[in-house]
Structure 1
Amino acid sequence: MDMSPEPFMPPAPIPRNVPPSRLEIIRTILRNPLELWGEPSYTLPWIQTRFFRESTLIVNDPGLIKHVLVDNAANYRMSDIRQLVLRPILRDGLLTAEGPVWKRSRKALAPVFTPRHARGFAGQMLSQSEQYAVKYENVGSEGVVFDISTDMTELTFAILAETLFSGEIVTASGHFADDVNQLLHRMGRVDPMDLMRAPSWVPRVTRIGGQKVLDKFRGIVRDTMNLRLDKMKKDRAAAPDDFLTLLLEQAGPEGLTMEEIEDNILTFIGAGHETTARALAWCLYCVANVPRVRVEMEEEIDRVLATGAEPVEWLDLMPHVRAAFEETMRLYPPAPSINRAAIAVDRWTSPSGENVDIPAGVTVLIMPWTLHRHALYWEKPRAFMPERFLPENRARINRFQFLPFGAGPRVCIGATFALQEAVIALAVLMHRFRFDVTANTNPWPVQKLTTQPQGGLPMLVSSRR
């Protein structure tokens, strides 16, 4: 008889058994879209339905996902609702640009985020993580409670600022986490006008107040650009060869416009670190609830650090740390939905011979949130089981059933950067400190562009040394 304890089931909405009314759909989308999905979304390979008079195809089958995102990606554009939410914030940043603008931006950014170049950031990631860990140095063995959600936002911002901007983002980071939360709360959610496909110039009541925060971020970007431009004009050799300089050197008739550069910088300041921050916080929470996993990670971290291995090697030398982070991204995918719309009629045939017809204009929803918890593709899909991602088990995971960074031409350009950053940050923090839940640690996942813990994530931080 199996006497092993039941695995930890982190908090998540229970799939609906009764379809919601139209009014309930609107209320749920405004409150938390993660609570909308019913049992079929977690059990069927695909669902053809109508959503506000619009044909919608919800896709979970890995083969069909590959068809949409890779094999016939040219036939699928960004969906209207996605663009109505994101374009007011990011305009022509890499996440929202399409066509020639997207191609120019992707080409300009690609050299910074090659795996080889990303590995070159390891030393800076280590330095910033160690500097941030000083915040906890006086917690002692009894511990002090911190909001880990806020702390991880601050940490990843510090890493982003140093690695991509050489520490020259013109802002004090003291209230940066609050500003990000306000921006996403006000601007990063679906409004009823979006559901009705109202033009972008129609006011969105839910986003009132968000423009002030967005204007603040835009001001930070412009000040940062101007500071670097002044340095480049005075002495190009004195300007760091980083992401910011590289982008500014792309300006011109054949490259990016200054507006496109501003949009891409805003994308990385406002969103480039946010996804990693949320996953780090959720990871520390999940690990705190599974002592066996935490001990495995601590022993692995201590062993690797004792060898003096360079931080660039940690991603490969710490499989348990990486597995815990990837399992966290499975359960709490930083980007919980991928939205596309078919340009022309399409058809996909399953291995069993079943045809899926995709009409022109149909909205295609690929939702890592449901895909990563799907009964057809995962054993105990709601459970936190990092061993799934250990090297000896990875071959069982289909490339298109695990999409924390998307797939295809628009796969996240910073995937290697994010994985390396996460492992280094976790190693530094967990080597020195232990993170435990408290009576007030009752997070609930809410979708606001990223998967956030509603009300923060208070945790007790104590010294291991």
Structure 2
Amino acid sequence: MDSTARSFRPPAPTPRTTPPSTLQMMRIVYRNPLELWGEPSYNEPWISITGGIGGPLLIANDPALIRHVLVDNARNYKMARVRQKILRPILRDGLLTAEGDVWKRSRKAMAPVFTPRHIAGFARPMLEQAEQFASRYDAAVGGTVDISRDMTMLTFDILAETLFSGEIAGDPDSFAGQVDRLFETMGRVDPLDLLGAPDWLPRITRLMGRNSLKFFRGIVARTIEMREEKMRRGESVPEDFLTLLLQAEGPDGLARAEIEDNIITFIGAGHETTARALGWTFYCLAMLPAEREAIEREIDAVLAREPDPVRWLDEMPRARAAFEEAMRLYPPAPSINREAVEDDRYEDLLIPKGTQVLVMPWTVHRHRKLWDDPEAYRPSRFHRENREQIDRYQYLPFGAGPRVCIGAKFAMQEAVIAMAVLMRRYHFDVTPETRPWPVQKLTTQPQGGLPMKVSLR
């Protein structure tokens, strides 16, 4: 390992040079969709396919075309069928899967929690949870931990404390394993969905995930029951995400089922994207000692003069850039799927009604016409002096348009605070067992986890 290097190429599938057969495609999509994409996906502005499974398909890589689909003409594009078949059995009418008036009601109900003022108020609890979590590593010094699994637990602790005031039912220690199980089963594309099979045919992926889904639904029911019992007794309750949703229940607000679906969306998936990106960040920085040392110096300097964590996101640009570059190479949500409601046209490209449109952050973020040396991990791309060179629609870790992630600022603040706390005290280094391979299971996960050695700085 070159201790002076400023970039390296982390593991990723090699682009295909020949198209797969239908059977091969179904196997790849089930096992790991990231291995499906060929050279054209990393070189062409778009790929339009008129035949094949599922009807017309458009893979959109050009930033202007992406803006057209997700922003300028967003009303003409609904959530794609295959995506909904994966997510709706888990999240039902949660914010990620709801459409139309149901989505508008949920977004409106949640908006007050994610205002800049509220997010700033979360900084201190985020710091406290990160510090409590970091103390666990004192006993692990000299040993190996799975940083990927640990970041899932840390971001869950932060989410529980900030959005639910620490009042989520259940055992947090069993949570990470259930998340993995849910994404391993129901988080995969089922071959029957690709073939357009009728819904009454049982999907093995959903059958295998029933117990994990039952686990999460049970957590939601008990969490709501605990809070409502406090309300019935006239006790003071925090004005948090949970209380806000319960207060929004009614004929002109949210139905009870919609409240439950949004709670499971945030408990089951709201922390997962940040966790995965943090894990990849620590791995990439372990492979770039010079960059890690520069970030450590930045963290030390900021913490010496600025105790308020709400300011860290702006005052730690190198840490932020390292996290953003990890999200470029390993986008937490590697695909954005839409379906054309009516015929549409972009320049000379016809987009017929029913076309499945794939905006793939995985390929857009690695596109050779958009990025210099796109396969290299190079945080300097996101340094302040370079950011203006990045088009808004060539970097999509949180999506874009009306359905842009409502918690984007929350996630960025959380990530930088977690990095500051952990990197102030510890080094996380690769071991001979650290051989991550990116796999798409809703999020971009490291197959086999991220075992890393813990040492004190």
The two structures have a TM-score, normalised by structure 2, of: 0.98
Quickly say closer, same or farther: Cα 1:51–1:125, change in 2 above 3 A. Answer: farther
Residue 328 (structure 1) aligned to one of 296, 303, 326:
326
SS of match in other structure, 1:203? coil
Question: Per-residue displacement from partner, 1:238-269 (whole Å, max 9, x unpaired)?
Answer: 10110000000000000001100000000000
SS of match in other structure, 1:77? strand
1:211-290 equivalence runs, <5 A: 211-235=210-234, 238-290=236-288
2:395 is the alignment partner of 1:402: yes
Partner residue of 1:352? none
Partner residue of 2:163? 164
Cα shift at 1:200: 3.0
Partner residue of 1:148? 147
CA distance in 2, matches of 1:386, 1:364: 30
CA distance in 2, matches of 1:18, 1:284: 34
Partner residue of 2:172? 173
CA distance in 2, matches of 1:89, 1:453: 22
CA distance in 1, matches of 2:216, 2:54: 36
Q: Is contact 2:330–2:362 with CA below 8 Å preserved after alignment?
A: yes
Cα shift at 1:216: 1.0
2:180 is the alignment partner of 1:187: no
CA distance in 2, matches of 1:212, 1:78: 27
Cα shift at 1:309: 3.1
SS of match in other structure, 1:85? helix
Partner residue of 1:392? 385
2:75 is the alignment partner of 1:77: no
CA distance in 2, matches of 1:144, 1:168: 32
Q: Is contact 2:319–2:419 with CA below 8 Å preserved after alignment?
A: yes
Farther off after superposition, 114-123 or 283-292 = 114-123
Cα shift at 1:104: 0.3
CA distance in 1, matches of 2:309, 2:5: 35
Residue identity in the other structure for 1:278: R
SS of match in other structure, 1:398? coil
2:132 is the alignment partner of 1:131: yes
Partner residue of 1:372? 365
CA distance in 2, matches of 1:248, 1:86: 23
Residue identity in the other structure for 2:354: G
Cα shift at 1:305: 0.6
Residue 356 (structure 1) aligned to one of 338, 342, 349:
349
Quickly say closer, same or farther: Cα 1:199–1:463, change in 2 above 3 A. Answer: same
CA distance in 2, matches of 1:176, 1:123: 24
CA distance in 2, matches of 1:344, 1:250: 34
Cα shift at 1:139: 3.9
CA distance in 2, matches of 1:263, 1:224: 13
Q: Is contact 1:275–1:334 with CA below 8 Å preserved after alignment?
A: yes
CA distance in 2, matches of 1:221, 1:138: 33
Partner residue of 1:302? 300
Cα shift at 1:53: 5.0
CA distance in 2, matches of 1:376, 1:209: 41
2:312 is the alignment partner of 1:314: yes
> What stretches of structure 1 move > 4 A for 4+ residues in a row?
none
CA distance in 2, matches of 1:208, 1:139: 37
Q: Is contact 1:139–1:463 with CA below 8 Å preserved after alignment?
A: no
CA distance in 2, matches of 1:200, 1:171: 32
Cα shift at 1:30: 1.0
SS of match in other structure, 1:121? helix
Residue segments in structure 2 that go unaligned for 5+ positions in a row: none
Q: Is contact 1:80–1:197 with CA below 8 Å preserved after alignment?
A: no
Cα shift at 1:6: 7.6
Question: Per-residue displacement from partner, 1:198-234 (whole Å, max 9, x unpaired)?
Answer: 2333210133221111011001001000110111122
CA distance in 1, matches of 2:316, 2:173: 32
CA distance in 2, matches of 1:51, 1:36: 15
| CA-atom RMSD in angstroms | 1.0
Cα shift at 1:195: 0.5
Partner residue of 1:24? 24
SS of match in other structure, 1:252? coil
Q: Is contact 2:6–2:291 with CA below 8 Å preserved after alignment?
A: no
SS of match in other structure, 1:57? strand
Q: Is contact 2:5–2:290 with CA below 8 Å preserved after alignment?
A: no
CA distance in 2, matches of 1:251, 1:383: 48
Query: Sequence identity of aligned pairs in percent?
Result: 63
Partner residue of 1:94? 95
Cα shift at 1:293: 0.8
CA distance in 1, matches of 2:306, 2:234: 38
CA distance in 1, matches of 2:382, 2:343: 37
Residue 426 (structure 2) aligned to one of 433, 438, 443:
433
Question: Per-residue displacement from partner, 1:112-150 (whole Å, max 9, x unpaired)?
Answer: 11222111100000000000001111344xx21001111
Q: Is contact 2:333–2:361 with CA below 8 Å preserved after alignment?
A: yes
CA distance in 2, matches of 1:18, 1:345: 30
Question: Per-residue displacement from partner, 1:290-313 (whole Å, max 9, x unpaired)?
Answer: 011101110000110111330000
Cα shift at 1:369: 0.2
Partner residue of 1:457? 450
Cα shift at 1:356: 1.2
CA distance in 1, matches of 2:54, 2:30: 19
CA distance in 1, matches of 2:445, 2:148: 8
SS of match in other structure, 1:435? strand
Residue identity in the other structure for 1:178: G
Q: Is contact 2:5–2:288 with CA below 8 Å preserved after alignment?
A: no
Farther off after superposition, 109-118 or 180-189 = 109-118
CA distance in 1, matches of 2:300, 2:169: 37
Partner residue of 2:412? 419
1:47-62 equivalence runs, <5 A: 47-49=47-49, 50-62=51-63
CA distance in 1, matches of 2:140, 2:23: 48
Q: Is contact 2:286–2:429 with CA below 8 Å preserved after alignment?
A: yes
SS of match in other structure, 2:259? helix
CA distance in 2, matches of 1:39, 1:67: 24
SS of match in other structure, 2:25? helix
Residue identity in the other structure for 1:152: M
**Number of matched residues?**
453
Residue segments in structure 1 that go unaligned for 5+ positions in a row: 350-354
Residue identity in the other structure for 2:352: P
SS of match in other structure, 1:17? coil
The two structures have a TM-score, normalised by structure 1, of: 0.96
Partner residue of 2:46? 46
Quickly say closer, same or farther: Cα 1:422–1:258, change in 2 above 3 A. Answer: same
SS of match in other structure, 1:137? helix
Partner residue of 2:68? 67
Quickly say closer, same or farther: Cα 1:150–1:6, change in 2 above 3 A. Answer: closer
